Chain A
Amino acid sequence: MNLLRLLLMLLMIYIDKMCNKMIKRNQTYIVTISLILTLFICAVAALHLGTITIPLTGGLQSILQGLGLAVSFTEPISTDQESVLWFIRMPRLMVGLLVGAALAISGAVMQGVFSNPLADPGIMGVSAGASLGAVIAIALGLTSLGAFYMPVLAFTGALLAVTVTIVLTWDNRRLDTTTLLLAGVAISMLLGAFSSGILTMLNEYRLKEFLFWMVGGLDFRRWDHVAVAVGPITIGSIILIMLGRHLNVLALGDTEARALGMPVMVYRIVFLFLASLVTATAVCVSGSIGFVGLVVPHIVRLLVGPDHRLLLPLSAIGGALFLVFCDTLGRIIAQPIEIRVGIMTALLGAPYFLYLLHRLRRQGGA
């Protein structure tokens, strides 16, 4: 018994030494572990808190039973609580995780592709295209016919906008990033003008409907939304993470990447297409939520450096965490009113980002 205790102690000393070594070498491990832990806590809180509080142990039991495990260690939760957990909070949490991860990862990719820290997921006209799709759906009254007309139209609009931007910029087998950026802005403005034009002709009720979509939110998300989003977002994100090393090279600019033997145009289009696909999926299930794609990659970059092999997966975790946190806080902070998540992300993200920049400048980094 004593021997066992001694062994355990040695093991703990060893682990402690290893941890110290890791801390000295870089922050990456700590950042990763704390991000995952915080995400877990946030997810639990998101399921637990709200107008109806769901007991932690009871909720866990319900989830485990739902997963097919016949366990019973506490008294079961009421049917009301169960339906809130399974049909409101769980899908909302899932959509939040997916959308947050999608926006952050595509923001990081766009910033890498354009070698520009100010790029955001909507830079290629994705958001404007999705908005126009949504406006058309609302104007034609399709939203009252079924919940899926709007996402489908938004998705189509988003991908069309990106395709048009790329095709217009494509010149002589080249795709210049500066031109692409400007073309994206121009297309966004043009589509924005169309959207505004249609909006001025709508009645007040429909206008409000659009405004709600515009601000972005996770309320009334169902398992259907999860089902729609999970495929494109996970597949797109996994491929993007796998290609992280190439994004590192691409971010050094055209000449440098080509001098290293990279088929620059092929990779640029692959990255732009995948990032746009992921963004479009996110936007069409949750409306346009700003700030996640811009701020989260920045924060993660400040924490672990610009290597996209780390930056992309950690941005995904960070984005999911940030969105779920904002959504949960927005739900409980001013009960019974709910502050929409799009507002919360900007309210929390902007000051924190400014603080981080300030601190880094004082340290002489950035």
Chain B
Amino acid sequence: MKLEVQNVSVSLGQRQIVKEATFSVKAGEFVGIIGPNGSGKTTLLKSLRRLYPVEQGSIAWDSMDINQMSEHDLARRVAYMQQSVNIAFGYKAEDIVMMARYPYLKWWEQERKEDKAIVEEAMKSVGVWHLRDRSMQALSGGERQRVFLAKALAQQTDALLLDEPTAALDLVYADDIFYESRRLCDKGKTIGIVVHDLELAAKYCTTLILMSDGHIVSTGSPKDVLTAEHLHQAFHLNAAVYEDPYFKQQRIYIFPRNMVDDLVHNCVDTVHSCVDVYNKSCSNAHYDKEEDLV
């Protein structure tokens, strides 16, 4: 499902959090929203799901204005997963995933057989089916997030919005969630994800949106967005950004804040020349082999 965001501003109380954001997303893209704390990432994500009212501008899913859609209609097209949900009662994991069927039922209806099948499929695809009878309160952080991911899947939407799903997770679980999401995108879902880990974003996302102080600093492919200048602009930090020559992936090294500029430049130059040397040696090796073959 494609998304058009035109000139959107969102205010909470007196403060304007998102300022004139404009971007568009094609179907099947995996969009990472990155930026420092308080830059408006979550607010932007929530307004895409109409959880915050848009002050000006327009948001359209598949050319349909978000304000024209009914609650149920929107919930059948776009799922939203919170950073963490405070569950007061000991619902079972399966109960939680089953709630995703809410937008498909009339107010007097109960879940049908096909809903149960959909829930089972969603839970199996994320690998939490064995936890179905466990109380949510007895699950670990990682298991809980995966149950909520299963819930978002069981909602059977074309688009998914994930708000820092990996914030409290260890490396493996975090990578899992991203891997899973990317796989879904390859199958045609559009996913927007708020993320702090820039390298993880670079590894899996197809598009990045870099925000700072409510503005969008840059959008595009991870290679275009993750540059030293952009990071300096958004995070006010000095970093060396280079492509890992082996995995072909953006790497970021952040320099300490109090480091002298000259030293930073020296370091950056050294890193880049190292990478160049490595690349050259790799390509030479490549040549040698080819010559050998001939």
Contacts and interface: CB of A to CB of B under 8 A. Distances in A.
A261 B72 contact: yes
B155 interface: yes
Nearest to B111: A245
A242 to B, nearest CB: 7
Contact of A259 (B79, B87, B135): B79
Interface string B43-73: 0001001010000000000000000000111
B119 to A, nearest CB: 14
Interface string A253-291: 101101111110000000000000000000000000000
A331 interface: no
B75 A259 contact: yes
A248 B75 contact: no
Nearest to A244: B110
Most A CB within 10 A of own CB, among B73, B91, B102, B105: B102
Given A261-B72, A261-B74, A261-B76, A249 B88 contact: no
B89 A260 contact: no
A255 B51 contact: yes
Interface string B199-215: 00000000000000000
B247 interface: no
Contacts of A112: 89
A241 interface: no
Interface residues of A, number: 28
A72 interface: no
A140 to B, nearest CB: 43
Contacts of B75: 259-261
Given A242-B108, A258-B51, A260-B75, A253 B86 contact: yes
B70 to A, nearest CB: 8
B99 interface: yes
A20 to B, nearest CB: 18
Interface string A218-235: 000000000000000000
Contacts of A262: 71, 102
Contact of B71 (A249, A261, A365): A261
A255 B99 CA distance: 14
B82 A256 contact: yes
A263 B50 CA distance: 12
Nearest to A118: B88
Most A CB within 10 A of own CB, among B73, B86, B88, B110: B88
A163 to B, nearest CB: 25
Contacts of A305: 90-92
Interface residues on B, range: 20 to 34
B143 interface: no
B85 A256 contact: yes
A87 B238 CA distance: 87
B246 interface: no
Contact of B89 (A245, A255, A261, A301): A301
B80 interface: yes
A366 B138 CA distance: 9
Nearest to B102: A260
B71 A263 contact: yes
Interface in B218-260: none
B216 interface: no
A307 B51 contact: no
B188 interface: no
Contact of B88 (A117, A255, A307, A365): A117
A142 to B, nearest CB: 42
A306 interface: yes
B120 interface: no
A56 B82 CA distance: 59
Interface string A84-121: 00000000000000000000000000001001110000
Contacts of A261: 71-76, 102-103
Given A256-B82, A259-B49, A249 B102 contact: yes
B95 interface: yes
B185 interface: no
A245 B110 contact: yes
B100 interface: yes
Nearest to B77: A261
A248 B100 CA distance: 12
A262 B50 CA distance: 13
B231 to A, nearest CB: 31
Contacts of A258: 51, 71
A301 B89 CA distance: 9
A246 B80 contact: no
B51 A260 contact: no
Most B CB within 10 A of own CB, among A251, A252, A307: A252
Interface of A: 112, 115-117, 242-243, 245-246, 248-249, 251-253, 255-256, 258-263, 301, 305-307, 309, 365-366
Interface of B: 46, 49, 51, 71-76, 79-82, 85-92, 95-96, 99-100, 102-103, 105, 107-108, 110, 135, 155
12 contacts: A112-B89, A243-B107, A245-B105, A248-B99, A249-B102, A252-B96, A255-B51, A259-B49, A259-B80, A260-B99, A260-B102, A262-B102
Given A112-B89, A262-B71, A309-B110, 8 more contacts: A117-B88, A248-B91, A255-B80, A260-B103, A261-B72, A261-B74, A261-B103, A301-B90
